[in-house]
């Protein structure tokens, strides 16, 4: 006999994620009761993942649970917020207990790592899709905005970029690699992205603007720049590329994917030139894993340079700008 909706929620979602003292009432009633700290600003974000659009229909359910939360935690990280609570709206074609168990396990493991309690949600029947809302806090006036950049700010990105796009291409059979270890690391960058929560919180003290890289570095850095009333110059030779990506694609194609590929969930942030040394002292780059990739400029739009030469960038690769 299939599980009733009530039993399903009880079994998989009533004890999911971290236990938090600020949850007076979690899953089970008509609404959750949450005690927001009075001296902080509540930060809320929501994202929907639709099967066949944001993840392959046959994606491992643990990955779907992880990603649905990770993409939201990444938004909070970009604001400099500490995550606290999540709600999940699940639309399922049928009750598949194996799928639900793995989904909840993937979600819960990441939620526990980041101290997030699952406090409610909704469960409906229909084509598979997952919506997660997260809430967190930031001290008043300390949130990082996309608009906090200025001409002359240095621009940085965390981690490595392009890996998730390569991972998705591997997953979909558009890319094939002989090195199985390397392939599985790249796939994991797509299937189990790491939200940069701790970095986001520390960057509050240094960054002007911040955005998370979900749609590709070039586009997202461009959004940050535009919101800040600036343009952006990116040095293609400074892009942080993983050894796996370089070995898989070679430098040129790896750089192209690093600029245009999505789903990395790294942080791209600007720091005023006067504060760069302070940032590097407080958060050593070799410990916190970020790299300077360019600067905000006073010329609108995004420009990619190689050794000082402006490159024309297209989906087919690089050409010298003519
Ligand atoms: P209602 O129709 O009154 O909203 P539901 O049956 O949808 O009640 O939900 C009952 C309880 O279970 C609520 O507390 C709701 O937040 C929670 N809930 C429902 N679906 C989920 C889910 N997928 N994950 C977490 N909590 C859920
Ligand atoms: Mg409901």
Q: d(Cα 32, Cα 252) in Å, to the nearest integer? A: 50
Q: d(Cα 123, Cα 130) in Å, to the nearest integer? A: 10
What does the pLDDT read at residue 311?
87
More confident residue, 46 or 318: 46
Which mutation among 27, 69, 92, 111 tests ligand 1's pocket best, with the greatest number of atoms within 8 A of CB? 27
- C-alpha triplet 240, 263, 302: angle, nearest 5°: 60
Query: Is it the case that residue 43 has pLDDT exceeding 60?
Result: yes
Listed residue (304, 286, 118) closest to 217, CA to CA: 304
CA distances from 181 to 32, 162, 169, 177, 186 (A): 43, 17, 16, 10, 9
Return the H-helix or E-strand segment holding 185: helix 180-191
Q: Which ligand has an atom closest to residue 31 CA? A: 1
Query: Is it the case that residue 234 has pLDDT exceeding 90?
Result: yes
Query: Is it the case that residue 316 has pLDDT exceeding 60?
Result: no
Contact 54, 79 (CB under 8 A): no
Q: Which ligand has an atom closest to residue 29 CA? A: 1
Query: Residues 134-146: what's their mean pLDDT?
Result: 98
Confidence of residue 78 (pLDDT cuts 50, 70, 90): very high
What does the pLDDT read at residue 313?
64
Query: Residues 123-138: what's their mean pLDDT?
Result: 97
Q: d(Cα 310, Cα 18) in Å, to the nearest integer? A: 48
Confidence of residue 169 (pLDDT cuts 50, 70, 90): very high
Q: d(Cα 300, Cα 36) in Å, to the nearest integer? A: 40
Confidence of residue 1 (pLDDT cuts 50, 70, 90): low
pLDDT digit string (tens) for 247-299? 999 999 999 999 999 999 999 999 999 999 999 999 999 999 999 999 999 99
Q: How many C-beta neighbours within 10 Å does residue 187 have? A: 20
Q: d(Cα 209, Cα 56) in Å, to the nearest integer? A: 33
Query: Residues 223-251: what's their mean pLDDT?
Result: 97
7 lines ligand 1 (CB under 6 A): no
Q: pLDDT above 70 covers what percent of the chain? A: 96
More confident residue, 317 or 94: 94
Query: Is it the case that residue 320 has pLDDT exceeding 60?
Result: no
11 CB-contact burial (10 Å; exposed 0-12 / middle 13-18 / buried 19+): middle
What does the pLDDT read at residue 314?
54
Query: Residues 32-54: what's their mean pLDDT?
Result: 96
Contact 317, 249 (CB under 8 A): no
Query: Is it the case that residue 318 has pLDDT exceeding 60?
Result: no
What's the chain's average pLDDT? 94
Contact 234, 305 (CB under 8 A): yes
Query: Is it the case that residue 158 has pLDDT exceeding 90?
Result: yes
121 lines ligand 1 (CB under 6 A): yes
Listed residue (8, 25, 139) closest to 85, CA to CA: 25
Listed residue (268, 307, 263) closest to 59, CA to CA: 263
Query: Residues 52-80: what's their mean pLDDT?
Result: 96
What does the pLDDT read at residue 8?
87
Query: Is it the case that residue 226 has pLDDT exceeding 70?
Result: yes
Query: Is it the case that residue 24 has pLDDT exceeding 70?
Result: yes
91 lines ligand 1 (CB under 6 A): no
Confidence of residue 81 (pLDDT cuts 50, 70, 90): very high
What does the pLDDT read at residue 315?
47
pLDDT digit string (tens) for 185-195? 999 999 999 99
Q: Which ligand has an atom closest to residue 107 CA? A: 1
Please, which residues have CB within 8 angstroms of residue 104's CB and are 6 or more apart in sequence?
A: 12, 13, 16, 65
């Amino acid at each position: 006999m299939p599980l009733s909706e009530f039993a399903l929620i009880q079994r998989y979602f009533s004890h999911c994620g971290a236990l938090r003292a600020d949850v007076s009432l979690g899953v089970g009633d008509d609404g959750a009761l949450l005690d927001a700290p009075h001296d902080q600003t509540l930060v809320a974000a929501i994202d929907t993942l639709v099967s066949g659009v944001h993840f392959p229909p046959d994606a491992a359910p643990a990955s779907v649970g992880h990603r649905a939360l990770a993409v939201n935690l990444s938004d909070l990280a970009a604001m400099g917020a500490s995550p606290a609570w999540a709600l999940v709206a699940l639309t399922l074609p049928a009750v598949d207990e194996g799928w639900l168990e793995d989904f909840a396990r993937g979600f819960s493991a990441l939620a526990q790592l980041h101290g997030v309690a699952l406090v409610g949600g909704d469960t409906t029947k229909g084509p598979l899709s997952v919506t997660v809302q997260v809430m967190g806090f930031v001290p008043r006036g300390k949130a990082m905005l996309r608009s906090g950049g200025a001409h002359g700010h240095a621009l940085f990105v965390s981690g490595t970029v392009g890996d998730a796009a390569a991972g998705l291409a591997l997953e979909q059979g558009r890319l094939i690699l002989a090195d199985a270890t390397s392939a599985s690391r790249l796939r994991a960058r797509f299937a189990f992205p790491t939200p940069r929560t701790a970095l986001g919180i520390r960057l509050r003290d240094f960054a002007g603007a911040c955005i998370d890289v979900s749609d590709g570095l070039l586009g997202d850095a461009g959004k940050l720049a535009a919101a800040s009333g600036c343009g952006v110059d990116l040095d293609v030779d400074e892009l942080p590329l993983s050894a796996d990506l370089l070995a898989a694609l070679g430098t040129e194609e790896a750089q192209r994917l690093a600029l245009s590929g999505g789903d990395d969930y790294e942080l791209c942030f600007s720091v005023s030139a006067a504060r760069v040394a302070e940032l590097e002292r407080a958060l050593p780059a070799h410990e916190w894993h970020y790299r300077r990739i360019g600067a905000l400029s006073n010329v609108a739009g995004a420009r990619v340079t190689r050794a000082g030469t402006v490159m024309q960038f297209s989906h087919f690769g690089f050409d010298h700008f003519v």
